[in-house]
Structure 1
Amino acid sequence: MGTQKPQTRGIDSQGLITRRTVLRASILGAGAITAAPLLAACGSDSGNDTGNSPRTAPSLVKPSGTVTLTLWTWAWPEEPLATELKNAFEQAVPEVKLEVKKFPFPDYETGLRTAVPNGTSGDVLHLQTGSMIRQYTQFLSPLEDLAKQAYGADWETQFLDGSVKEIRDSVAKGDPLVAMPQQSSIGGVLWVNRAVLAKAGGTVPTSHEHFVEISKELRSQNLVAATWGAKDNWPNTDYLVQFASQFKPGIIAAAEAGEASFTDDAVVAGLNYLKRTLTDQLWNAAPFATPAFPDAYDLFFNGKAATAAIGTWGTAALFATPNRLTDWAACLWPKLPDAPQDDWMGQSVSGIPQASSPSAVRPWRTVNVATAMRGDLTPDKQWAAWKFIEWSCGEAGQKAGSATYTPARKGIRPDGLNAEWQKIYDWHNELGKGAERREFAFIETRKAIESAIAAVCVNNADPKAELQRVDAAAKRARA
């Protein structure tokens, strides 16, 4: 994501975004989607059985000497930044010696499933929002009271809009807040390679029809308008979440919660539009057949594509070569045909330095990494664990970590951005106020949606029939 690279979505040393790797000098933790099966030890991951969930804050006892604290993670930087970040924490909290155990992401999922219920996992855990947090809620300590004590009564407003709510929404109703946002990103925003776009007029797409024109011109030059690595499946739901929201904001999240149906006209319209983008050839050839996610993004990084749906979680890619900070820009996907006008952006713009269109497509948001502590720790370990969370999610830790991941706190940017990209980065986070929730509460829902998208886009299946199957899967998961 020598040293083994962490298995998460990020960027390799050439600037290539991969599903499970990150830039050697940067851990982005881009919210790779967990595919872990349900915990047998926990019963259903619906979270309905909350009898074992802790309800009170842990009793913290400052140790008289040094305490060794173990962090389990897939999202930790490579050397030398790994040691620099560890040292920064230990200097801030000298009573604690931090040991970091970093896993490849699939191994991490496997390790958590047995070690967390058995009490043999790390003292502090990095988790993804949605189904991963939901599986382990009953084994984690509640943190809200500690957050109020550390950051003040308004602590939640100090984090990027929606990030704390995303963690709250990851657990069943009535369960406590059990993790804090450490890394948070806005995704789905189109990043633009100006040099490639110049070969098709130089203007970002301002409508679907304009996008099609750009694509035709670029294809004639063996270039592509947009990249999509649909073969990996998990990127596909991002587009459906975004496109469906243009017809009805929040519809995907509402449908998963049972408050609406996946057969709602808005979801059908979003899925039909996704299929239309294939028919109109906006993408690299045969995205479901040949390119995996890394291959598709490699087209953008290597100057073969005009746009890619990246967002702040790809910020480290800007630093891979000197020209990217000047050659790249960003905009939102233009308004969808037949979608209603929507002023969700308020006074914000739809692109920097060029606008795309009014009523442009919403981005998505995700807490890449949420930090939690086990609920069965001794009081001195609880103190040490909270000090790590407090520091990592506080201003000092977020500044120290900004060289390696996208901060979850407001007002903190990764280092090294030029003036224009500082504006673009802040603009991404501003758009987060209207962004869609990316993660799913249940892995069953995600898998069903992935299957529906592939069936409709590749096999010309009936959208409503496929979405009825998604409804059934979500209902079973909620039971």
Structure 2
Amino acid sequence: MSTGTPLSPLTGSPLSRRRLLGVGAAIAGAAVGSGVLSACGGSPRPTAASSSKSAPALVKPNGKVTLTLWTWAWPEAPADAELQKAFETAVPEVTLSVKKFPYPDYTTALRTGVPNGTAGDVLHLQTGSMIKQYAQYLAPLESYTAEAFGEDWRSQFLSGSVEEIEASKVGLVALPQQFSVGGVMFANNKLLSSVGGALPTSYDQYLALSPKLAPKNAVAASWGAKDDWPNTDYLVQFASQWSPGIVAKAEAGEASFADDAIVQAMKFMQRTLKDKLWNAAPFATTAFPDAYNLFFNGKAASASLGTWGVGALYEGSRLDDWGAFLWPTLPDANPDPWLPAANPEMASDTSKSPVRPWRTVNVATAMRSGLDPDKQWAAWQFVRWSCSKEGQQAGAKIYSPSRVDVKPEGLNERWNALYDWQNSLSKFAERREFDYPETRTAIQTAISACCVNNADPATELKRVDAAAERARTR
């Protein structure tokens, strides 16, 4: 399955590594591919005011309406037909036509199709730079949402999911269909116990795992640094140990990328390489799929997954063999006892100030503005259904739900508790996405310079400041 989102297909049936890694490879492109949007020109930058106009009244059509969805994030057979049928059964007035693109082709199609009005009636979008680019062409949804779900509609979605869409200050122009808490480390408990190890509660404990695992040709953690996009995830997380939200503030011009918190995070990334925590030469040899193959094949004790990786649990004995934990407190970081709930598996011995995870709306569902009345009605029905309990339950075998009242099927009691625990962290999670692709690219360049060539973090991060300022003001 290749949805292009950072989640594995959530299914009660066995899931192959090949299918999961296809998804991961797609998001590796998605995380950096959105840079094409702004780098190649495209539409003028939207403002919050451009999407704050009141939504037009909806009128139910007299006959059948054909609605077109543009997406890169639609399942393959047979799940594709099952999901489409579920929607058309719920809304029999609408026939859904799905146009699915490979992710790089999707970004290209959006660049021309959205501004000239030839794109789909409903669109799947990523938060951050993509949704910011096209917000001015999307219909405002708040009045529809309150009417459909009630005035308390925000409380029906996992904490952070709606906020993730609104973080780009473009108004509510989409609803979260898929939402994940990432950056939580999955662990191979069976492998750890085979060398007398356990889930680490300090960096020293984490580091001590590698020599124990070496005779098994395994390492403490796998990192697919060659693909670049996992690197910004780690920097965002590690910087939060010194100052939560600092990377997002720096992109907005409210702080500097050369802030001590980000500098310290970069220095810690350099340290982990010198300490040989990871697989050998991750920047030179290990792409995202390779890193997860190490973990899946028992050659790494841990890997960064989170709720988007739940689908991997359904293969073999992983529901029994795997666990989850947060990066323990980083050396020399400020005490920050933010953790709202103890890990069910580490209740008495968890790090008091672990590294915060990140959150992302894998897929936000939007409708274009300016549709004719019949299409407007049909488009809202698709957005509403996709984000309703009914629609989320239909998709819960395929993607990580965004609603509080829907969960993946097939988890055992232990992993149900771990899944709930991860979602309880979303309120405190770091924002993963960037409003400007130029910012992400500049950070990735800085990380490579520091981690591969041992460049000075402060010097490299000042260059990120310059790139972010150009992106904000151009």
TM-score (norm 1): 0.93
* 1: CA distance, partners of 2:298 / 2:89: 43
Specify which of 46, 57, 63 is matched with residue 65 of structure 1.
63
* 2: CA distance, partners of 1:431 / 1:398: 21
* 1: CA distance, partners of 2:368 / 2:65: 16
Q: How far does residue 28 in structure 1 lie from its aligned partner after superposition?
A: 9.6
Specify which of 379, 387, 390 is matched with residue 393 of structure 1.
387
* 1: CA distance, partners of 2:334 / 2:18: 36
Q: How far does residue 81 in structure 1 lie from its aligned partner after superposition?
A: 1.1
Aligned to 1:91: 89
Answering whether residue 280 of structure 2 is matched by residue 279 of structure 1, we say: no
Specify which of 118, 121, 124 is matched with residue 123 of structure 1.
121
- SS at the partner of 2:35? coil
Q: How far does residue 199 in structure 1 lie from its aligned partner after superposition?
A: 3.0
Q: How far does residue 376 in structure 1 lie from its aligned partner after superposition?
A: 1.8
Answering whether residue 156 of structure 2 is matched by residue 158 of structure 1, we say: yes
Aligned to 1:217: 212
Q: Identity over aligned residues, as a percent?
A: 58
Aligned to 1:249: 244
- SS at the partner of 2:179? strand
Q: How far does residue 352 in structure 1 lie from its aligned partner after superposition?
A: 2.6
Aligned to 1:14: 16
Aligned to 2:167: 169
* 2: CA distance, partners of 1:477 / 1:466: 17
Q: Is the 8 A contact 2:8 2:308 kept in 1?
A: no
Specify which of 293, 296, 299 is matched with residue 301 of structure 1.
296
Q: Structure 1 residues 466, 29: CA separation in 2 closer, same or farther (over 3 Å shift)? A: closer
Specify which of 180, 201, 206 is matched with residue 206 of structure 1.
201
Alignment of 1:409-424 (within 5 A): 409-424=403-418
Aligned to 1:263: 258
Q: How far does residue 412 in structure 1 lie from its aligned partner after superposition?
A: 1.3
* 1: CA distance, partners of 2:217 / 2:63: 64
* 1: CA distance, partners of 2:7 / 2:343: 25
Q: Structure 1 residues 313, 32: CA separation in 2 closer, same or farther (over 3 Å shift)? A: farther
Q: Is the 8 A contact 1:230 1:293 kept in 2?
A: yes
Alignment of 1:135-146 (within 5 A): 135-146=133-144
Q: Is the 8 A contact 2:24 2:288 kept in 1?
A: no
Return the letter of the residue paired with 1:126. Answer: H
CA deviation vs aligned residue, 1:6-41 (integer Å, no higher than 9, x gap) = 444455852257675379xxx999974423231634
CA deviation vs aligned residue, 1:267-308 (integer Å, no higher than 9, x gap) = 111111111111111101100000110001111111111000
* 2: CA distance, partners of 1:150 / 1:379: 18
* 2: CA distance, partners of 1:475 / 1:108: 28
Aligned to 2:458: 464
Q: How far does residue 315 in structure 1 lie from its aligned partner after superposition?
A: 1.1
Specify which of 323, 326, 330 is matched with residue 329 of structure 1.
323
* 1: CA distance, partners of 2:8 / 2:152: 35
Specify which of 172, 179, 184 is matched with residue 184 of structure 1.
179
Alignment of 1:9-48 (within 5 A): 9-11=6-8, 14-16=16-18, 21=23, 32-33=31-32, 34-38=34-38, 40-43=41-44, 45=45, 47-48=46-47
Q: Structure 1 residues 29, 412: CA separation in 2 closer, same or farther (over 3 Å shift)? A: farther
* 2: CA distance, partners of 1:200 / 1:351: 22
Aligned residues: 465
Return the letter of the residue paired with 1:403. Answer: K
Answering whether residue 369 of structure 2 is matched by residue 367 of structure 1, we say: no
* 2: CA distance, partners of 1:31 / 1:249: 25
Return the letter of the residue paired with 2:57. Answer: S
Return the letter of the residue paired with 2:55. Answer: A
* 1: CA distance, partners of 2:451 / 2:27: 30
Q: Structure 1 residues 30, 147: CA separation in 2 closer, same or farther (over 3 Å shift)? A: farther
* Higher normalized helix content (fraction of residues): 2
- SS at the partner of 1:70? strand
Return the letter of the residue paired with 2:92. Answer: P
Answering whether residue 311 of structure 2 is matched by residue 316 of structure 1, we say: yes
- SS at the partner of 1:117? coil
Greater CA drift, 155-164 or 30-39: 30-39
- SS at the partner of 1:305? coil
CA deviation vs aligned residue, 1:347-386 (integer Å, no higher than 9, x gap) = x114635754111111000000000001021011010000
Return the letter of the residue paired with 1:122. Answer: G
Q: Is the 8 A contact 2:189 2:323 kept in 1?
A: yes
* 1: CA distance, partners of 2:160 / 2:212: 39
Gaps of 5+ in 2: 10-14
Specify which of 221, 230, 235 is matched with residue 225 of structure 2.
230
Return the letter of the residue paired with 2:70. Answer: W
CA RMSD in angstroms comes to 2.1
Q: Structure 1 residues 265, 16: CA separation in 2 closer, same or farther (over 3 Å shift)? A: farther
* 1: CA distance, partners of 2:280 / 2:117: 48
Answering whether residue 283 of structure 2 is matched by residue 288 of structure 1, we say: yes
* 2: CA distance, partners of 1:67 / 1:9: 32
Q: Structure 1 residues 236, 136: CA separation in 2 closer, same or farther (over 3 Å shift)? A: same
Answering whether residue 376 of structure 2 is matched by residue 382 of structure 1, we say: yes
Answering whether residue 431 of structure 2 is matched by residue 437 of structure 1, we say: yes
Greater CA drift, 459-468 or 217-226: 217-226
Q: Structure 1 residues 137, 177: CA separation in 2 closer, same or farther (over 3 Å shift)? A: same
Q: Structure 1 residues 51, 417: CA separation in 2 closer, same or farther (over 3 Å shift)? A: closer
* 2: CA distance, partners of 1:462 / 1:415: 47
Aligned to 1:352: 345
Gaps of 5+ in 1: none
Q: Which has the higher contact order (CA 8 A, sep 6+)?
A: 2
Q: Structure 1 residues 19, 215: CA separation in 2 closer, same or farther (over 3 Å shift)? A: same
Greater CA drift, 10-19 or 258-267: 10-19
Q: Structure 1 residues 11, 426: CA separation in 2 closer, same or farther (over 3 Å shift)? A: closer
Q: Structure 1 residues 361, 31: CA separation in 2 closer, same or farther (over 3 Å shift)? A: farther
TM-score (norm 2): 0.94
Return the letter of the residue paired with 2:62. Answer: S
CA deviation vs aligned residue, 1:230-278 (integer Å, no higher than 9, x gap) = 0000110000000000001110011111111111111111111111111
